[in-house]
Amino acid sequence: MVFTDFSRKISIACMGVALSFSALSYSQDEQSWPVYAAQLSDEVISECETKSCTLNVLDAATLSNILNKHPMSMDVHEALNLSEYELLVSSALIETDTQRGEKALVLEMTTSWRGIPVDDFNLKVPHSDTLDATATAVLNQWVSSVQENEVFSAERIYKIIGASDYQNQLQLPETIGDFVRSQTALYHDPLQGSITRYLHPDFADAVVDVSVYPVSPFTHPDKNLEESLSAEMQIERTQIQTLIEQAQMSDYLISEIQTTELASASGPISGLAMEVALETQIDPVYSTQFLFTQNDKFVKLTGNLPKGMMLSLVNESVAQIKVPQESSFMQSMRQ
At 91-137, the pLDDT tens digits run 999 998 877 878 999 999 999 999 999 999 999 999 988 899 999 99
**Residue range 238-253, pLDDT digits in tens:** 998 898 888 887 788 8
**Residue range 259-271, pLDDT digits in tens:** 999 877 777 889 9
Residues 222 and 302 in one domain: yes
Taking a C-beta distance cutoff of 8 angstroms, is the pair 255, 240 a contact?
no
Residues 9 and 24 in one domain: no
Q: Which residue, 152, 180, 195, sits at the end of a domain? A: 152
Q: Tell me if 158 is assigned to some domain.
A: no
pLDDT of residue 24: 26
Residues 272 and 171 in one domain: yes
Q: Residue 79: which pLDDT band, with cuts at 50, 70 and 90?
A: confident
Residues 324 and 269 in one domain: yes
The string of DSSP codes covering 134-203 is HHHHHHHHHHHHHHHTTTT-HHHHHHHHT---HHHH-B--SEETTEEEEEEEEESSTTT-EEEEEE-SS-
User: Under 8 Å CB-to-CB from 151, ≥6 apart: which residues?
Assistant: 18, 111, 118, 119, 145
- Residue 174: CATH number of its domain: 3.40.1000
pTM of the predicted protein model? 0.83
Residues 124 and 252 in one domain: no
Amino acid (1-letter code) at residue 39: Q
**Residue range 148-169, pLDDT digits in tens:** 999 999 999 999 999 999 999 9
Residues 192 and 94 in one domain: no
Q: Which domain holds residue 30?
A: 17-152
* Strand partners for 119: 111
Please tell me the total number of residues recorded for the chain in this structure: 335
Q: Tell me if 283 is assigned to some domain.
A: yes
Residues 71 and 207 in one domain: no
